[in-house]
Chains A and B, each alone.
Chain A
Amino acid sequence: SAVISQKPSRDICQRGTSLTIQCQVDSQVTMMFWYRQQPGQSLTLIATANQGSEATYESGFVIDKFPISRPNLTFSTLTVSNMSPEDSSIYLCSTGGTSPFGSGTRLTVV
């Protein structure tokens, strides 16, 4: 299974700013998935990142708020834009299937 390196591991950000999270995979994968885990909650799929095409967003998530890049088959970024305290969560990337999640980014917005 693929191994994902995710960074940053944590950050504290001011409201109104943006943070870009990076995931690097050790092998080429067709799809990458971005999830959000709000405090004390389950995981929610934000979007699917496809190489060479626009990301596919789930209901409740929009590109302006969570722009995603997928420049090649081993890398993806998720940006959390114009942050508010409600964006404080753990953000996780995945390649699906049995592969482990990335280590996660714990974001706190103050």
Chain B
Amino acid sequence: GENVEQHPSTLSVQEGDSAVIKCTYSDSASNYFPWYKQELGKRPQLIIDIRSNVGEKKDQRIAVTLNKTAKHFSLHITETQPEDSAVYFCAASIGMDSSYKLIFGSGTRLLVRP
């Protein structure tokens, strides 16, 4: 069945450094790739997303890249701050329709050390 693999499972960086989280997906029909940030005790929050007709998208300190040929997509956070510490999930849409039901990666726990 479809799956999304996410690496690394944990990531510790110094404040101000960059963080990169990588995901691969299996469903060739996937066309929507969101990233979520989940802080302790809260629901996942969408932070950025990318669709299959775009190779890169940036929003201030965060960016996402997509390589459809290789079925890879990555989250890049620059100039990390302690408030970036959270669990991050990638996801990929399943199937051909536009309903965007999602399959999630296993998550990355990011710790930004002050």
Complex CA gap A45/B101 in Å reads: 8
A96 located at the interface, meaning its Cβ lies under 8 Å from any Cβ of chain B in the complex: yes
A84 located at the interface, meaning its Cβ lies under 8 Å from any Cβ of chain B in the complex: no
Hey, which chain B residues are within 8 Å of A97, CB to CB? 32, 98-100
Q: Is the CB of B104 within 8 A of A43?
A: yes
Complex CA gap A59/B105 in Å reads: 17
Complex CA gap A59/B94 in Å reads: 14
Q: Size range of the interface on B?
A: 20 to 34
User: B-facing mask of A11-29, CB < 8 A → 1, else 0?
Assistant: 0000000000000000000
Q: How far is the CB of A74 from chain B (nearest CB, A)?
A: 16
Which listed segment binds A: B40-48, B53-61, B66-74?
B40-48
Q: Is the CB of B49 within 8 A of A42?
A: no
A48 located at the interface, meaning its Cβ lies under 8 Å from any Cβ of chain B in the complex: yes
- Taking CB atoms and an 8 Å cut-off, the chain A residues in 51-102 that contact chain B are 59, 90, 92, 94, 96-98, 100-102
Chain A contact residue count (CB 8 A cutoff): 21
Q: Is the CB of B99 within 8 A of A31?
A: yes
Complex CA gap A90/B38 in Å reads: 13
- Taking CB atoms and an 8 Å cut-off, the chain B residues in 61-99 that contact chain A are 89, 91, 94, 98-99
Q: Is the CB of B99 within 8 A of A96?
A: yes
B26 located at the interface, meaning its Cβ lies under 8 Å from any Cβ of chain A in the complex: no
Hey, which chain A residues are within 8 Å of B94, CB to CB? 45
A103 located at the interface, meaning its Cβ lies under 8 Å from any Cβ of chain B in the complex: yes
Question: Which residues from chain B sit less than 8 Å from chain A, CB to CB?
Answer: 1, 32, 34, 43-46, 49, 89, 91, 94, 98-107
Q: A92-B43, A96-B99, A104-B43 are in contact. List 5 more A-B contacts (CB 8 A).
A: A41-B107, A42-B107, A59-B1, A96-B102, A98-B46
Question: Which residues from chain A sit less than 8 Å from chain B, CB to CB?
Answer: 30-31, 33, 41-45, 48, 59, 90, 92, 94, 96-98, 100-104
24 contacts between A and B (CB under 8 A): A30-B99, A31-B99, A33-B101, A41-B107, A42-B105, A42-B106, A42-B107, A43-B91, A43-B102, A44-B104, A45-B94, A45-B103, A48-B99, A92-B44, A94-B102, A96-B99, A96-B100, A96-B101, A96-B102, A97-B32, A97-B99, A98-B46, A100-B45, A101-B44
